[in-house]
A and B are shown apart, each in its own frame.
Chain A
């Protein structure tokens, strides 16, 4: 058995095309990255960027078109059986489970597929349930659990076999703030306490900033930046300029002509008849110029402030637009 020291996931020039009736769709266009053991690694991008495709390939659900991917040193294409012994995965959107049996029995069933003796499985279920606050609900039928507890049970299933690497696809999507926070705390402590690698695909920037050691930002099948959240934000330079502007213009494309403006994202509030535009700038002069340009367009700036850098601005700076605009342009 070979295992590359310290690197749990290694991806090189990974490419995946899907055949359709029209032209083939390139979901991944030659991405490369490495994830260290015990790291919480985020893959951040808008819908359709290629996050789920990456997870599916690494969890051996999907073969790549070209390139290589290794998990704990085992090639996902040629050694999937070895990979499956050391991984698990969960998807937040699906909350997979058999409705007609209890949460506990669901967990026990999957433990058996990983070859755990029942006694070991019971202990593991108890431990995970306590960590995830699921204990009181273990004996409820899966369909009777609320969304939050179904998701906790799904997360518990992802850890039932004590995997070295866990792949999570939007694990907190649709959850309330408290449940999402407790799941994140669990994920972080599993990585730090047990040296487990957690790879997290998400479009939730707050989640990445809260728990990820490093993040790869993905857009249209390509990784456009990678690093720690802090280093990515530091590279931006100046804080973003946020303006509330009335009346809402058709678009803010005129800002691309302003020197030093790296990108922007906007949202319109029709009730209040205003738009909020967030402009990522290279320096303070660019911020001032952007404000002048808005006024030159005949728009009234109702309020403005400077916003501390976030991963959203990093994405905007790299791509020129925010997640929402990118999805509207057609990320799939």
Chain B
């Protein structure tokens, strides 16, 4: 776990440009939506766009560096090495998650700093609730990434297509830049319910309420409980899926197929 996390850390500290690379789309989309809110006379919601940019950094990292990673490792021949080593694949995935989170923090911090400097969103925060919500959201999100990584093992190059398909719709249904659940959501209840299975949905909603509307632990307790449950559920799902798909891969001989 530690080794795999360290490899990720070395990659970013050996190549500081990663920070600039990672923050490109999040900062620009955050800027664009902040300016959009301003242009339509809704400047009080600029903070939603800034927060959205921060969380998009992590969501992109989950999709491209977590979910797809094993598929790319398969291309490079690394996955075979993981499988044939005594190390637990789940531990490797957790290490990747930890490394991914730490790697994304610098670019997320820059997105936050720039957004705050340019737009001065008004914050009315219950910081304890904000911090706990943030970390539980990340835990659930990266657990989802672990589950996706096992699915991508099977679907190979389609993984890249899946990322392209998943990124925007999930951002929309999760309400990264606007409330997608609750009283102000435009979606019908059934859609809100389905969207709530995505950790980002509950996390974004709870973060907005605790950061901009001062809701404390009692106000977001249900969200925290759901996020914790989702973390555990996705973690278990990833372990089960990995075992089953590893067995399938061994049977079908697709573990070491390299599709460039």
> Which A residues are within 8 Å of any B CB, using their own CB?
99-100, 143
Contact = CB atoms under 8 A, between A and B. Distances in A.
* Residues of B in contact with A, size category: under 10
Nearest to A97: B260
B4 interface: no
A149 to B, nearest CB: 15
A141 to B, nearest CB: 9
A138 B208 CA distance: 57
Contacts of A143: 257-260
A99 B258 CA distance: 10
Contacts of A100: 157
Contacts of B258: 143
8 contacts: A99-B157, A99-B259, A99-B260, A100-B157, A143-B257, A143-B258, A143-B259, A143-B260
Interface string B231-260: 000000000000000000000000001111
A76 B257 CA distance: 40
Nearest to B260: A99
A284 B141 CA distance: 76
Given A99-B157, A143-B260, 6 more contacts: A99-B259, A99-B260, A100-B157, A143-B257, A143-B258, A143-B259
A172 B157 CA distance: 29
The 8 closest A-B CB pairs, nearest first, are A143-B259, A99-B260, A99-B259, A143-B260, A143-B258, A100-B157, A143-B257, A99-B157
A100 B161 CA distance: 13
Nearest to B157: A100
Nearest to B259: A143
A99 B156 CA distance: 12
Contacts of B259: 99, 143
Contacts of B260: 99, 143
A99 B257 CA distance: 12
A145 to B, nearest CB: 12
A148 to B, nearest CB: 15
A143 B157 CA distance: 11
A48 to B, nearest CB: 24
A85 to B, nearest CB: 30
A143 B260 CA distance: 7
A144 to B, nearest CB: 9
Contacts of A99: 157, 259-260
Nearest to A142: B260
B140 to A, nearest CB: 35
Nearest to A99: B260
Nearest to A95: B260
Nearest to B257: A143
Nearest to B156: A143
A99 B260 CA distance: 6
A99 B75 CA distance: 12
Interface in B130-163: 157
A100 B258 CA distance: 12
A99 B259 CA distance: 7
A288 B259 CA distance: 57
Nearest to A100: B157
